[in-house]
Structure 1
Amino acid sequence: MEQREMSLFDHIGELRKRVIIILIFFFVAMIGGMFLAKPLIMYLQSAPEAQELPMNAFKLTDPIRIYMTFAFASAVLLVFPVILYQLWAFISPGLHEKERRVTLSYIPISFFLFLLGISFSYFILFPFIIQFMGRLAEQLNITEQYGINEYFSFLFQITLPFGFLFQLPVVVMFLTRLGIVTPKFLSQVRRYAYFVLLVIAGFITPPELISHLLVTVPLLLLYEFSIWISYIAYRKAKKAEEALEKQENDSSVQ
């Protein structure tokens, strides 16, 4: 497939088309999310860390707010692969045929990492934070009485950021294939990246060392893994460029 030049209006029209497709799929997914919301809420309420906490509705609108929040979150999860594909479809006209095939394969990887990040934060990090908060309340002789809206809002605050943070290797791989970043650049800015990740970890976790390390260490390992992924993608991109140049030189000689 040949690359084609697109004007600014063509790009705007293409973007509008992709956004409309996403909104249509999101509307359908939102309907599905309304059916998934109740079983999801019941499942999360049956978790051991949730059963130990007396949760109440402190406002009349808390039940519907929780229900709609879960419906929205379920819709986002369902439509996430569609968003990734539409993003790929928007930028694919500017890529070579081989680059299109390679970047298309990033979509299932990205979705898997999104689920992995949410799973890590829910099954490992979140229970630890809940236990820490419970021990602290007991030491301070505080009776725990939580609203269900606050509980699930805190749950989303912990889990959803990890789903997006775990996209780092895919984003780095994609930017490397486009020639925007290199493994050398990522290594040079490592100290600044570490600082940013430490700040992010500080926002996500409570002011306690162990929980902070539970967030920081995976993020730092994720960054180092991203450098390694960038190195592999960079080598493949260079080989593809050399093969393309050789092919063009051979065709010009003929």
Structure 2
Amino acid sequence: MSEGVQETFIAHLVELRDRLIRAVGAVILVFVCLMPWAGDVYDLLAQPMMHALPEGTNMIATGVVTPFFVPVKVTLMVAFVLALPVVLYQAWAFIAPGLYAHEKRMAVPLVAGSTFLFLLGMAFCYFFVFNMVFKFIGEFAPKSITPAPDIEQYLSFVMTMFLAFGLTFEVPIAVILLSKFGVVSREKLKEARPYVIVGAFVIAAVVTPPDVISQFMLAVPMWILFEVGLLLAKYVGGRESDDDEEARSDVTTT
């Protein structure tokens, strides 16, 4: 490796370190500010489950330190979500030097759009999916059983669902980027529609509870958002893919 290449590589590593420090610092700052209300944050997160439980029933904590660590984990998750614009901006700022000028102008719309869609996915999960899933589970459970969910297992379930729905709602951004940067043409994405639909239901079956309602509520929005991404990609435009360039050169030669 030549000296110039080595210096460039080290410079990229230093910049990556600085971007990571800023992103992590933003999350820690929000986390510290929210810590005095960690218990209230967890109570808010637990509302969908509490509404589904029989009256007078509470969740339980089976570990000695669980009542402390679970609210802390929830608060850290909320801090990450609130600091997401800063995290996404730092990621974009790191890769921006390798992009064209008109692509750099996409930074603000992409960061804002990604943050909004991720939060929208979490809100959809919190206000609609949780209520329907917990109600379904409560009605399906035998009457001789009094449910008393463990708060740590509930947190694990909630974080998995939030991540699944948050990433699902990022599908339009992924489709736009694939088309814009010429990774896959819009026409090929349209041809892949049947595979996307099947893949959406497969992913939903893996990451959601084993009930049809939650699977449909993840798979159907994923499919709809894919279609939205295709529609937006039509107006955003993009680089020509290699196949398009070859086709154009063949026509020119002919």
Structures share fold, TM-score greater than 0.5: yes
Aligned-residue RMSD, C-alpha: 2.3
Paired position in structure 1 for 2:247: none
Q: 8 Å contact 2:41–2:71 — kept in the other structure?
A: no
2:43 corresponding residue in structure 1: 42
Q: Equivalent of 1:189, from 192, 195, 213?
A: 192
Partner of 1:147: 150
Residue deviations 1:144-193 (CA, integer Å, cap 9, x gap):
12222222322222223211221111122223222222211212222222
Partner of 1:21: 22
User: In the TM superposition, what whole-angstrom CA distance separates every residue of 1:193-248 from its partner, at most 9, and x where no partner exists?
Assistant: 2222112111232222233222211111111112222222226x67xxxxxxxxxx
Provide structure 1 residue ranges, at least 5 long, that are not aligned to the other structure.
Answer: 239-254
- Give the distance between the partners of 2:66 and 2:52, measured in 1 at CA: 17
State the alpha-carbon separation in 2 of the partners of residues 198 and 36 from structure 1: 38
The alpha carbon displacement at 1:51 in A equals 5.4
Q: 2:138 aligns with which of 134, 138, 142?
A: 134
Summarize deviations over 1:29-88 as a string: whole Å, max 9, x none: 221232342222222344552554531112212111211211210221122111110111
Q: What amino acid is aligned across from residue 31 of structure 1 in structure 2?
A: V
Q: Equivalents in 2 of 1:114, 1:90: separation in Å?
A: 21
Alpha-carbon distance, 1:94 to partner: 1.8
* Greater Cα offset, 44-53 or 25-34: 44-53
Aligned to 1:246: none
Structure 1 distance, partners of 2:16, 2:44, is 38
Are 1:224 and 2:227 matched, yes or no? yes
**Residue 85 to residue 128, structure 1, CA distance change in 2 (3 Å):** same
- Structure 2: runs of 5+ lacking an equivalent: 241-254
Following superposition, the deviation at residue 112 of structure 1 comes to 0.7
Partner Cα separation in structure 1 for residue 52 and residue 43 of structure 2: 10
- CA positional deviation for 1:96: 2.5
Q: Which residue of 1 aligns with 2:79?
A: 75
Q: Distance in 2 between matches of 1:150 and 1:127?
A: 17
Map of 2:95 onto structure 1:
91
Q: Does 1:113 align with 2:114?
A: no
Aligned residue identity for 1:49: H
Pair 1:106–1:36, CA change in 2 (3 A): farther
* 1:207 aligned partner: 210
SS in 2 for 1:105: helix
Any conservation in 1 of the 2:62–2:150 contact (CA below 8 Å)? Answer: yes
Matched residues, percent identical?
Answer: 31
Give the corresponding residue for 1:9.
10
Match of 1:161 in 2: 164
- Whichever residue aligns with residue 213 of structure 2, its letter is I
1:65 counterpart residue number? 69
